Amino acid sequence: MRRAIFAKFLQVILVVLLLSTFIFYIASSSALLKNSRKDMLYTLSAIDKIINYSGDITGEVEKLKTVLNGKQSRFTVIRMDGVVVADTIDVPVASLDNHSEREEVKKAKEEGEGYSRRYSDTLKENMLYVAIRSAESDYILRMATPYTGMKEYLMLLLPAVWLSFLVAIMYSAFSADSFAESITKPLKEISQEMLKVNGDYTDLSFETYQYPEINIIAETTTKMSSNVKDYLNQIEMEKQIRQEFFSNASHELKTPITSVQGYAELLESGIIADEGQKKDFINRIKKEAVNMNNLINDILMISKLETKEAEVLMSDVRLSIVLDDIIESIKPLAASHEVLIHMDCKPLCIYANGQQMKELFGNLITNAVKYNKPGGEVWVKVTEEDRNVIIQVKDNGMGIPKDSLGRIFERFYRVDKGRSKKQGGTGLGLSIVKHIVNFYHGTITVQSELDVGTEFTVKIPIQGKVC
């Protein structure tokens, strides 16, 4: 990269030098031509004032020959019809062509002055011609002088040009090397710092460099390292959660299976003769089977919620109807726990999955009933606020300890394991609620105080129009 930057820098410098030299040559040539014309016009104006047009014009021009030839210049007096009257060159005037079509003569006749550059067949060299219309009589005065532009100075300037080129290239080579070093050195330092990681995404440390773009690379690298570290930590945490999930799921399934197997073996052995006891064992087997079925259904529900690709059928769901169905199905449970349920639901309809809404309401209200006290109450309120559905489930039951509030949404976590087992919960209810809320990009919060009660607040954004 350093070599490429160096080569590109030199290329740019060479192009700039060549371009500037060309521009300088053009500008100098133009300036030289302009000054030469100006000097010749001034000379012609001066000659126009000293010539005696009423006398012998040829004799007057002869007087100028000595002076002008010393300057390698030519002076010509031309009539308005283009015929040469007098000329400082040593050729017969009668042998000269009519000059009316000469560019400088035409312009002088029309505009008062004119000029042109061309090769002179008479003098055999390139000449600059300048002509003016006489202010003293009806003649056109013309002066011609050898003119090669900057070419005659080029050989004089060439050593200086080459010397300046050499100095410029040497300086540009030094500058290019320094510039390349200022870019490649920070990149090497960033690369060396990244090599220190070696699988351990610790915090990287970079200096502040002179180029903001390189600082952006350093900052981006630091952020990427931090993101990778966070990602790896998240993967490790999810791995632990998954291991805990399988361990807890195995334990939760093993307990009812062991119980079912034990009761079945007792019944199969024939030891139990009492019909009432046999019936009790069969009821217990059925109860454990129901618990296992509920557990498996909850596990499948969480699995579907975690799998974003899983197809979820959405439709317009009227929350008041869902809530009525859930409370109707929970009434026997509420009656057995001597708990009264109050409902306040606005006529809201959202685009969602009906089964998921039933799971959300069912788990929250069931928990509020199960972990209440005799004579307790549960308040369920559903409202709309700022394009959000607000679901509040409040009870005046036993409450949740502060040290457990941060873990209640974990799978299989139980605040009171003994009581939860008796209540027949799977330990996945609140985890399912949390997953459903996340599925709809909502939030869930909980406030609780021991022996005072608990309140869950769910906020779900309304997608599209409220039906």
Give the DSSP per-residue string, 268-286. Answer: HHT----HHHHHHHHHHHH
Strand-strand pairing, 377-385 and 340-345: parallel
Average pLDDT over residues 228-243: 72
User: SS3 of 93, please?
Assistant: helix
**Between these two residues, 308 and 442, which has the higher pLDDT value?**
442
Euclidean distance between CA atoms 127 and 142, whole angstroms: 12
Token readout for 184 is: 């490649």
- Residue recorded with tokens 């788990």: 363
Element of type H or E holding 423: helix 417-423
Query: Using 50, 70 and 90 to split pLDDT, how confident is the model at 357?
Result: very high
C-alpha to C-alpha distances, 272 to 9, 283, 286, 287, 289, nearest whole angstrom: 99, 15, 18, 19, 21
Angle ∠(153,154,158) on CA atoms, nearest 5: 125
Euclidean distance between CA atoms 391 and 388, whole angstroms: 10
Give the DSSP per-residue string, 128-185. Answer: EEEEEE-SSSSEEEEEEEE--TTHHHHHHHHHHHHHHHHHHHHHHHHHHHHHHHHHHH
Euclidean distance between CA atoms 390 and 399, whole angstroms: 22
**Between these two residues, 340 and 200, which has the higher pLDDT value?**
340
Query: Using 50, 70 and 90 to split pLDDT, how confident is the model at 334?
Result: very high
pLDDT at position 76 over 60: yes
Token readout for 280 is: 């009790």
Average pLDDT over residues 168-193: 72
Q: Helices marked H in 307-375 — which ranges?
A: 319-336, 354-370
Euclidean distance between CA atoms 227 and 219, whole angstroms: 12
pLDDT in tens, 245-284: 666 667 667 777 888 888 888 888 878 778 888 888 888 8
User: SS3 of 53, please?
Assistant: coil
Least confident stretch, 38-47, 123-132, 201-210, 294-303: 201-210
Is the overall model pTM greater than 0.85, yes or no? no
C-alpha to C-alpha distances, 188 to 183, 202, 204, 217, 224, nearest whole angstrom: 9, 19, 14, 12, 18
Token readout for 174 is: 């030094």
Token readout for 37 is: 């014309």
pLDDT of residue 420: 47
Query: Which of 197-210 are b and which e, b meaning 16 or more Cβ less than 10 Å from the residue's Cβ?
Result: eeeebeebebeebe
Euclidean distance between CA atoms 331 and 193, whole angstroms: 65
Least confident stretch, 18-27, 90-99, 248-257, 447-456: 248-257
Cα dihedral sign for 53, 54, 55, 57? Answer: positive
Euclidean distance between CA atoms 333 and 287, whole angstroms: 16
Give the number of other Cβ atoms within 10 Å of residue 128's Cβ: 21
Token readout for 167 is: 């100095």
DSSP state of 209: P
